[in-house]
């Protein structure tokens, strides 16, 4: 038998994670708790943007003079780009309350491989990372939509996507190792 030690996964329930978030927020001053409530409202409101984007995309596809082969894929990229605002707000929420994950629906049962719940500088770092990723995702979606009308932009878009993918992988690995 090899010298590897088997580690038993430590399961942390969703309820315990929600309790950690609630205790963290109780310890914060009122302006932080107020920003938590504001951010939750903005995150819910941001879900209307993809729906509005979908309706606008359908209207533009039906009424535009552009070919359907170009306008439908461009509309899909546009709708996906609308989700970037919600992702950005989640990152901003984490940075504002200095806790990650900042909302109940992002909390799941954790084990030793999961990033867990963290506060302070680690949570702010995760929030900034998520905000930067959301901005890059929005830019890639906009460039992807534009590429159906001007394919020459693919010379820029493909390297950007490759660098973003590698950067996201390296950044998330770094954040995970830093949080342990």
Q: Is 109 helix (H, G, I), strand (E, B) or coil?
A: coil
Answer yes or no: pTM beyond 0.85: no
Q: Supply the pLDDT for residue 128.
A: 92
Residues 102 and 36 sit within 8 Å (Cβ to Cβ): yes
Q: Is 17 helix (H, G, I), strand (E, B) or coil?
A: helix
Average pLDDT, consecutive stretches of 10 residues, N- to C-terminus, the chain (180 residues): 37 74 88 90 89 85 73 82 90 89 67 68 88 90 83 84 87 73
Q: Is 108 helix (H, G, I), strand (E, B) or coil?
A: coil
């Amino acid at each position: 038998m090899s010298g590897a030690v088997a580690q038993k996964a430590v399961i942390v329930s969703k309820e315990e994670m929600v309790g950690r978030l609630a205790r963290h927020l109780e310890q914060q001053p009122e302006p932080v708790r107020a920003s938590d409530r504001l951010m939750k409202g903005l995150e819910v409101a941001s879900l209307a943007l993809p729906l509005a984007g979908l309706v606008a995309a359908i209207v533009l596809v039906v009424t535009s003079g552009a070919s359907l082969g170009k306008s439908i894929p461009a509309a899909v990229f546009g709708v996906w780009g609308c989700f970037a605002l919600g992702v950005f707000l989640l990152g901003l929420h984490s940075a504002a309350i200095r806790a990650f994950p900042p909302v109940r629906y992002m909390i799941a049962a954790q084990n030793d491989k999961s990033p867990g719940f963290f506060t302070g500088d680690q949570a702010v770092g995760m929030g900034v990372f998520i905000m930067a990723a959301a901005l890059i995702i929005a830019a890639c979606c906009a460039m992807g939509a534009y590429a159906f009308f001007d394919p020459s932009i693919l010379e820029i878009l493909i390297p950007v996507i490759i660098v973003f993918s590698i950067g996201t992988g390296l950044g998330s690995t770094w954040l995970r190792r830093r949080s342990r």
